[in-house]
């Protein structure tokens, strides 16, 4: 696959995971999260990929396959086909990342500070490469574990009892229990 085509597919994939719109930074994080191994194995691309990604995005804008919002976010036009993200088991690092985001929101809620759920979930989507639905289910699983420890869970995440392996120890570690 030609480099421009490869980078374009990664942009579309990252934006698809993010709900069709995201900042260039979140797109880059999404590409890294899903393609770090590919980037490391392609020689010089490891050192130029972010510049090359931006150039690919500019080419997509020029031919109407991408728009740039006034706030700088990249958006896929309606009707753009996005690849489905394959279902996979949760890895230890992914679980720790989502638990970290959950605990950040939980502390804000318990301290009466604003909870920036949309931003946290968007960041988690990019960092893990998981779909919004997958993250919502995981956040609900984390709520169940938090509740098991006698702590009020996030009001916006109803607890789900089918907790994947690895979530309980990650939550205990994050809550210093």
Domain assignment of residue 70, yes or no: yes
* Residue 44 shares a structural domain with residue 97: no
* Residue 96 shares a structural domain with residue 165: yes
Domain assignment of residue 100, yes or no: yes
Domain assignment of residue 84, yes or no: no
* Residue 71 shares a structural domain with residue 8: yes
Domain assignment of residue 163, yes or no: yes
* Residue 13 shares a structural domain with residue 42: yes
* Residue 55 shares a structural domain with residue 105: no
Domain assignment of residue 85, yes or no: no
Buried b (16+ CB within 10 A) or exposed e, 27-37: bbbbbbbbbee
Residues in the chain where the model's pLDDT stays below 70: 1, 84-88, 177
* Residue 63 shares a structural domain with residue 120: no
* Residue 98 shares a structural domain with residue 140: yes
* Residue 163 shares a structural domain with residue 130: yes
For 56-86, what is each residue's pLDDT tens digit?
999 999 999 999 999 999 999 988 887 765 5
Question: Contact 143/160 with Cβ under 8 angstroms?
Answer: yes
Give pTM, 2 decimals: 0.55
* Residue 101 shares a structural domain with residue 160: yes
Q: What angle do CA 15, 20, 25 make, to 5 degrees?
A: 45
Q: What is the CATH number of the domain that holds 42?
A: 1.10.10
* Residue 164 shares a structural domain with residue 135: yes
Please report the pLDDT score of residue 77 as a whole number: 92
The parent domain of residue 68 ranges over: 3-75
Please report the pLDDT score of residue 30 as a whole number: 86
Hey, which residues does 67 pair with through a beta bridge?
A: 75
Please report the pLDDT score of residue 49 as a whole number: 92
Please report the pLDDT score of residue 41 as a whole number: 76
Domain assignment of residue 119, yes or no: yes
Domain count within the chain: 2
């Amino acid at each position: 696959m030609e480099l421009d085509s490869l980078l374009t597919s990664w942009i579309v994939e990252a934006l698809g995971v993010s709900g069709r719109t995201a900042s260039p930074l979140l797109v880059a994080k999404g590409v890294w999260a899903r393609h770090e191994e590919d980037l490391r194995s392609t020689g010089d691309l490891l050192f130029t990929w972010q510049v090359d990604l931006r150039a690919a995005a500019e080419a997509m804008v020029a031919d109407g396959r991408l728009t740039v919002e006034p706030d700088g976010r990249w958006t896929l036009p309606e009707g753009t086909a996005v690849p489905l993200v394959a279902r996979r088991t949760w890895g230890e690092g992914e679980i720790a990342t989502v638990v970290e985001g959950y605990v950040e929101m939980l502390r804000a809620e318990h301290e009466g500070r604003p909870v920036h759920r949309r931003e946290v979930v968007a960041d988690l989507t990019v960092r893990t490469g998981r779909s919004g639905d997958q993250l919502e289910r995981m956040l609900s699983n984390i709520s169940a574990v938090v509740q098991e420890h006698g702590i009020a869970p996030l009001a916006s995440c109803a607890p789900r009892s089918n907790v994947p392996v690895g979530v309980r120890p990650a939550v205990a570690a994050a809550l210093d229990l």
